[in-house]
Structure 1
């Protein structure tokens, strides 16, 4: 009887063991089954995500990149470029490389530049230059004509005579000025597009595109950034400002605020601000480059009529335009013309607005400029 009980208990134990082992194996098999389907599900989701990314790349959530900015000394000034929500340093570096290449092409102070070769050629000898250089010279000559030669790209001999902005500025004699004034003559520049050449009509003549080149270069850099997908940026070429796309923020885009320098105060003290999403702001004035002698300030904006720094009722001019090249040429032109003639010229041009600061500190605005000006 006892023997039968032991056998029964043993059989029961073996049965329970086998049952437990079977359940364990089933449980493990179930886990492997679940894991297998988990991997399959993840693979399917990744495949779907990849397909959606290829078909609708702009619809998928993505991390917003940060802003990136750099400052370098080019074009004889501090150049600043800021790309908003970009983070693409390669594009930023290429933009500065582009500026440097234009400087090497258009600066009269760069040995071997196309402008330098034109200036050192004998009168009557054509110099072969690129379409780019000829195009910029033609634009400069257009503004010389519009301004009645107040703006003149052949002003280089006069600029060199004064040396304002150099280490050794000086007041030239009346005789010295009289000698170089005949060389300031934009009508003696001959452009031959068929031959691809530029020629100076008088020995001693020389081009200086400093009054227009920065604006032109700003436009080219802006075009480059847009081609490379940049949607929000600010370019500042030593006071030639070009903005695009508004300033992005958490609550959407806002307008850029561009300061109007107080010409009677140190740098960074503003009379007010222009607010704009798109376009160019360029300023010229008595505060930019100058030297003092005998208690008199001699600034760098020279009259092509008498050869001296311009003396009129204006202290500064700010031009708003779509293209920075227009603002660059017009800021100098309007300053030379003075308040009344300068304002008349601005009002005759489509798409141009201005703020003219008088010697008395009054800010005179065109109607369009008044709408976006915030007085400080």
Structure 2
């Protein structure tokens, strides 16, 4: 009988290496390994070779870095979406793109199922599976962490050793990491106790802020319609722009956070995230919006940003609501064009100057000096109308108190 095919989201790390062999041993599937390159630093030739040597009948490496930036990172940046005021969604918005590529290859190869290495306690299982269901509901889903008898990464190490699978971690270095061109996350190990201060030795993209240069650095980031396009007046491709900002931000310890977050599945988790270039872009974009957006739009967009972040975090990328929010966000970004100067110093980044051809800031109106465009006497009528509800309420209060006082005197 011809064996059935399954596509495996493959990284070459501990979990997916064990899953590849487990799928073969347990179900006799023909496994097609798919490694999606979203900018993680890997020897992809070695990853592909490892997949084939571990038992895969075919191995793909798909470079989607530019698509990741333009179609996933930039829409989220324009939305100003930050989960729980801290997390710049580095893992979250990579998952729907990876799912999309898994579905495309599964359809091309005639695979009946897609398997992934997300655990039953995390968010990624939802992000992968919700995205796959949205794109092709007829593909079967296999999540080994929810069904096999391996209960920990230590068990996985033992399984790998038993099956002669080379592994990149040991029981002493057991952090779970996810990386792409936008960020790297660190979870597990001693981070599982929130009382433990994280060790700066875990950093991969950044230096510790206290070890950053004693002299600040500056960079000017140019935007067109909410999208970053230039650094210090020089235009770059999306990949090169983020790569350069990562190098600059990382050298100054920018974008390191240590947070406890609320997972979609109901539990809290603790992680350390490095997002050097992304932090610079978010802060610069926010500063430029302050020049170009009016008060009402800015206020309303804050609620949209929060909802957008929730959708992305929860794996609801391919939904009608997300598409509708994108339309609103894009309409707000048509005038978010200009340049922001950022100052980087020992873990901080601050917008220190900004300019835009669509700036709503008008020095002639706000100057403390003499001007010919604003009649200060006009403010009196505005204040009277603005405060009218409070004035009426206060009049009623005084009238009632005086009436009560008169009645008491008559009695």
**TM-score scaled by length of structure 1:** 0.29
Rg bigger for which structure?
1
Larger strand percent = 1
**TM-score scaled by length of structure 2:** 0.27
